[in-house]
């Protein structure tokens, strides 16, 4: 891992930790951690969820609860080690009661995510859930391709970036499969697309 990338990521972490108001205050009141992301700074595949849950906020690690176990199994299923990808969320602090992130929260935290994407320069972004799908598709000029996640999941979209072509692969959020077992098979099937990248 290059020192320069590490320093840039550390800078983002320090800025998020120093935020005031809203979710950052909620984080301090509950002795939670901001969850910046983890994995390889040279990852070919970047996974982006929406916001940390309680387990994540307690440990500071993304996808470390039940949804994380499922994500690990899905990665294993395609022979990709977890530490070779980068996993993060748009929102870096936990919303109270695991509610969906508000548009204003996405707006506040998205610039940090944008910088993480610039640092890593992935070949593929796999979005987990509809919030990250909408944000990433719009960010990369694919608003016209947007459709409900029930139709978009498992498809691959081409995007142009400053570092070359990149694929965007929307997926259901693994947490959804915990409450709906039939989605586990769908996710397994959709993850096969990532093998080809």
Q: Which of 38, 37, 16 is nearest to 27 (CA)?
A: 16
Q: With beta carbons less than 8 A apart as the criterion, state whether 143 and 137 touch.
A: yes
β-sheet with 124-128: strand ranges across: 38-39, 86-89, 45-49, 124-128, 164-171, 157-161
Instruction: Give the model's pLDDT for residue 181.
Output: 87
Query: 50-70: per-residue pLDDT in tens?
Result: 999 999 999 999 999 999 999
3-195 belongs to which homologous superfamily? Uracil-DNA glycosylase-like domain (3.40.470.10)
pTM: 0.96
Domain ranges within the chain, ordered by starting residue: 3-195
Query: 65-84: per-residue pLDDT in tens?
Result: 999 999 999 999 999 999 99
Q: What is the mean pLDDT of the chain?
A: 96
Instruction: Give the model's pLDDT for residue 179.
Output: 85
Under the banding of pLDDT at 50, 70 and 90, the label for residue 1 is low
């Amino acid at each position: 891992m290059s020192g320069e990338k590490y320093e840039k990521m550390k800078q983002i972490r320090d800025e998020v930790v120093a935020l005031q108001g809203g979710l950052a205050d909620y984080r301090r009141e509950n002795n939670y951690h901001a969850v910046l992301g983890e994995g390889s700074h040279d990852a070919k595949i970047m996974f982006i969820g929406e916001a940390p849950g309680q387990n994540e906020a307690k440990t500071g690690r993304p996808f470390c609860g039940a949804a994380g176990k499922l994500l690990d199994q899905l990665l294993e299923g395609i022979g990709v080690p977890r530490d070779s990808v980068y996993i993060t969320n748009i929102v870096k602090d936990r919303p109270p009661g695991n509610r969906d992130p508000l548009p204003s929260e996405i707006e506040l935290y998205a610039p940090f995510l944008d910088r993480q994407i610039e640092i890593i320069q992935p070949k593929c972004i796999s979005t987990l859930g509809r919030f990250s799908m909408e944000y990433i598709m719009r960010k990369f000029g694919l608003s016209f391709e947007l459709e409900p996640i029930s139709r978009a999941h498992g498809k691959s979209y081409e995007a142009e970036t400053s570092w070359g072509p990149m694929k965007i692969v929307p997926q259901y959020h693994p947490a959804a499969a915990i409450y709906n077992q039939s989605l586990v098979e769908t996710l397994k099937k959709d993850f096969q697309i990532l093998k080809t990248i």
